[in-house]
Chains A and B, each alone.
Chain A
Amino acid sequence: MGTVTNATAAGAAGAVIRTEGLTKIYPGGLTAVDHLDLTVERGEIFGLLGPNGAGKTTTVGMLTTRVLPTSGAASVGGVDVIAEPARAKQVIGVVPQTNTLDRSLDVRENLEWHGRYFGMSARAARQAADRLLEQFRLADRATADTLALSGGMAQRLMVARAILHRPQVLFLDEPTAGLDPQSRLALWEILGELHADGQTILLTTHYMEEADQLCERVAIMDHGHILALDTPAGLKRSVGADTVVRVTAAGDLEALADLLKSKIDGATGAQVGDGLVRLYLRGAQGALPKVISAADAAGFTVHDLSVTEPTLETVFISLTGKDLRD
Chain B
Amino acid sequence: MSVESIAPGGASHELVQLRPAGRASLDAFIALLARDVYVIRKTFSMFLLRTVMQPLLTVFVFTYVFPKVGQGIGGRQGEAAFSTLFLPGAIATACIFQGIQAVALPLVQEFGYTREIDDRVLAPLPVWGVALGKIASGAVQAVLAGVVVFPLAKFIPATPVRLDFNWPLLLTIGPLVCFTGAALGLAIGTRADTRQVPLIFSVIVVPMTFLGATYYPWARLTPIAWLKYLVLVNPLVYMSEGLRASLTGIPHMSLLAIYVALVGFGAVLAYLGISGFRKRVIS
Bound: A92/B35 CA distance, A: 21
Cβ contacts B1-25/A at 8 Å (1 or 0 each): 1110110110111111111010111
**A91 proximal to B (CB < 8 A):** yes
Bound: A64/B283 CA distance, A: 12
- Cβ–Cβ contact B116 & A124, under 8 A: no
Query: If A100-B118, A100-B119, A165-B6 touch, does A91 touch B27 (CB 8 Å cutoff)?
Result: no
| In the complex, chain B residues 35-86 whose Cβ is within 8 Å of any chain A Cβ | 35, 38-39, 42-43
Q: Which A residues touch B9, using CB under 8 A?
A: 127, 131
Q: Which B residues touch A115, using CB under 8 A?
A: 6
Query: If A89-B122, A127-B8 touch, does A120 touch B283 (CB 8 Å cutoff)?
Result: no
- Cβ–Cβ contact B8 & A128, under 8 A: yes
- Cβ–Cβ contact A10 & B14, under 8 A: yes
- Cβ–Cβ contact B16 & A198, under 8 A: no
Q: Which residue of A lies closest to B119 (CB)?
A: A100
- Cβ–Cβ contact A86 & B16, under 8 A: no
Query: If A10-B15, A117-B32, A118-B16 touch, does A86 touch B283 (CB 8 Å cutoff)?
Result: no
Query: If A66-B283, A102-B116, A199-B13 touch, does A119 touch B1 (CB 8 Å cutoff)?
Result: yes
Bound: A119/B123 CA distance, A: 10
- Cβ–Cβ contact A90 & B24, under 8 A: yes
Bound: A68/B127 CA distance, A: 12
Cβ contacts A98-137/B at 8 Å (1 or 0 each): 1111111100000001011111110110011001000000
- Cβ–Cβ contact B114 & A8, under 8 A: no
**A197 proximal to B (CB < 8 A):** yes
Among A61, A89, A166, point to the contact of B13 (Cβ < 8 A). Answer: A166
Bound: A244/B21 CA distance, A: 54
Q: Which residue of B lies closest to A100 (CB)?
A: B119
**A87 proximal to B (CB < 8 A):** yes
Interface size, chain B (Cβ < 8 Å)? 48
Q: Which residue of B lies closest to A194 (CB)?
A: B13
- Cβ–Cβ contact B15 & A168, under 8 A: yes
Interface size, chain A (Cβ < 8 Å)? 53
Q: Which A residues touch B31, using CB under 8 A?
A: 113, 116-117, 119
**Chain B: interface secondary structure?**
loop
Cβ contacts A248-268/B at 8 Å (1 or 0 each): 000000000000000000000
Bound: A102/B13 CA distance, A: 26
Query: If A118-B16, A118-B123, A197-B12 touch, does A86 touch B39 (CB 8 Å cutoff)?
Result: no
**A167 proximal to B (CB < 8 A):** yes
Q: Which A residues touch B115, using CB under 8 A?
A: 96, 98-100
Bound: A87/B12 CA distance, A: 24
**B34 proximal to A (CB < 8 A):** yes
Cβ contacts B269-283/A at 8 Å (1 or 0 each): 000000000000111
Identify which of B9, B19, B23, B124 gathers the most chain A CB atoms within 10 Å of its CB: B124
Q: Which A residues touch B16, using CB under 8 A?
A: 90-91, 118, 165-168
Q: Which 6 A-B pairs have the closest CB atoms?
A: A198-B13, A121-B2, A116-B31, A128-B8, A127-B8, A100-B119
Give me 12 A-to-B residue pairs in the complex whose CB atoms sit less than 8 angstroms apart, sorted by A's number: A66-B122, A66-B282, A68-B283, A86-B24, A87-B21, A90-B124, A102-B116, A119-B19, A119-B23, A166-B13, A167-B16, A168-B15
Apart from A84-B21, A119-B28, 15 more pairs, CB < 8 Å: A10-B14, A61-B283, A66-B121, A66-B281, A85-B126, A96-B118, A104-B39, A117-B35, A118-B123, A120-B1, A121-B1, A124-B3, A166-B15, A166-B16, A198-B12
